[in-house]
Amino acid sequence: MVEPKAWQVTAGSAALGLALAAVAVVAAGPWDSGQRKAEREWAVAQNRSGGAHHGPSAPRTPAPAPSAAGVLSALTAPGTPRTGVAPGGTSPAELARRLGPLLDAEALGPSRTASVVDTATGEVLYGKGAATPMTPASTVKIATMVAALSALGPGHRIPTTVMATPDQRTLTLVGGGDATLDRKRLADLAGDTARALRDTGITKVELRYDTSLYSGPREHPIGPNDNIAPVVSLMAGQGRLDTSTTGPAARSGNPAGDAARTFAHLLRERGVRTARPPATGKPAKGAEPLARTYSAPLSDLVERALTESDNDIAESLARQTAVAAGEPASFAGAGRAVTAQLATLRVPLKGARFADGSGLDRKDRASAALLTALLTRAADPDRPELRPVLTGLPVAGFTGTLRSRYGDAAPAAGLIRAKTGTLTGVDTLAGTVVDGEGRLLAFAFLAGATKAPDTARTALDRLSAALVPPAAPAPPATPRPATGSAAP
């Protein structure tokens, strides 16, 4: 159980703000890749893609973005029911009566665990095997994102840098681990590089590319797969071999080399030829930054990774956490860094294992209690840096991996935010909902050895939908006075 804190007195009403904010966001729209349009446009406006234009001095870092907006503002006193919602219904006894039969659904297989927690008090309202480590699938991304935000802060940006020798005739494209680098920003970087070289009259260079930030195996343990590119510190368009930006797609076996060759082509278009095809290599001694481009703020990356369940971003953020911790930026180093960072948050880590950052590895282990504890930490008003974990969760029936779900659980659409998890035989769901008393509840349901993903997902949707408070009965209609004049 998560230990109560001083903020618990006000957090109950704070939870109400989250629910209303979530509904308002969905209604206001539009959404784009898991980011509210206004927030995304603000971030783009702040991100001066490309870096320096004036020679080899180190490019200026963009100003950090602020933390996610305070969506947990208190609107009512704790315990005050929401207007139009029947109060109550989430006592431990009531939840056991309501959730027990749903958790026993045959579609969830023989192994299923559950945890429901009041985020304001840390009180466990319902639990079944909550401390049992299970394969979490993509819900492990919640742990990855909490660790990255805690270690780096929501304003952190990931650089991709062009280093130049003192004579500026040898350039090295240095990957910083930005899994969101695309052709447009790579073109901006090439433009900045060409402008910096133009002042010295250089039109021909030797180009290298450096992926040494990461160590260990490049391939994910699942092997070549349409759900993830080789995990390298330099890629463009996530190594996709088509024009997609989300979801499964065929991937390049050498995304770093492809990115470097694309960069060489973009340089040629801007008047700078390369002597030969780019080769791997670190910057030469004495090299200095010539141009640089930055990712969007970490808060945006977290939202995108959670909403669309982006495996490439998740793995990159696990490695960013490793770099911050001084660990090798490998699968093993990232796992140690994430574990250590979460330990500082005092969440239940017994039996937890982070074999990767995305949840594709079946060796990952997390308990339902750990997932609800992480969501509780993200709801803590004293930890605003973790708020993107909540704002990035897909909205039931509207965004990301929940866009097409909850079709037979209509009252839950727009009211539940949750991270999905699916592997063959594994189906999980973890997120938040506001109860009839305005309390923000965190829930996690994990099922193993499921036989069919469709029926398992429907069962999970019904479980979480059972946490949505019923609508209060409408007041009786007031008779309207008759119109017109009466007969004499």
Q: Which of 309, 330, 358, 464 is catalytic?
A: 309
Mean pLDDT by 10 residues, the chain (488 residues): 38 40 37 36 36 37 44 36 46 94 97 97 96 98 98 98 97 98 98 95 97 97 95 97 94 98 98 96 96 98 98 98 98 98 98 98 98 98 97 96 84 93 98 93 97 95 92 62 45
Q: Please, are residues 189 and 294 in contact by the beta-carbon 8 Å criterion?
A: no
Q: How far apart are CA 334 and CA 317, in angstroms?
A: 9
| Catalytic residue flag (residue 128) | no
Q: How far apart are CA 10 and CA 295, in angstroms?
A: 35
Q: How far apart are CA 451 and CA 217, in angstroms?
A: 32
| Catalytic residue flag (residue 285) | no
Q: How far apart are CA 391 and CA 302, in angstroms?
A: 9
Q: How far apart are CA 30 and CA 391, in angstroms?
A: 14
Q: Please, are residues 78 and 12 in contact by the beta-carbon 8 Å criterion?
A: yes
Q: Which of 115, 138, 150, 330 is catalytic?
A: 138
Q: What is the pLDDT of residue 258?
A: 98
Q: What is the pLDDT of residue 471?
A: 64
Tokens of 219: 């391939």
Q: Which of 141, 233, 367, 464 is catalytic?
A: 141
Sign of the torsion angle spanned by Cα atoms 262, 265, 270, 274: positive
| Catalytic residue flag (residue 150) | no
Sign of the torsion angle spanned by Cα atoms 270, 261, 165, 180: positive
Q: Please, are residues 47 and 299 in contact by the beta-carbon 8 Å criterion?
A: no
What pTM did the predictor assign? 0.82
Residue 287 DSSP symbol: -
Q: What is the pLDDT of residue 470?
A: 76
In terms of Cβ atoms closer than 10 Å to its own Cβ (0-12, 13-18, 19+), residue 64 is middle
Tokens of 387: 């708020």
3-state SS assignment for residue 217: coil
| DSSP codes, 417-445 | EEEEEEETTEEEEEEEEE-TTSPEEEEEE
Tokens of 306: 């959670």
Q: What is the pLDDT of residue 474?
A: 58
Q: What is the pLDDT of residue 480?
A: 61
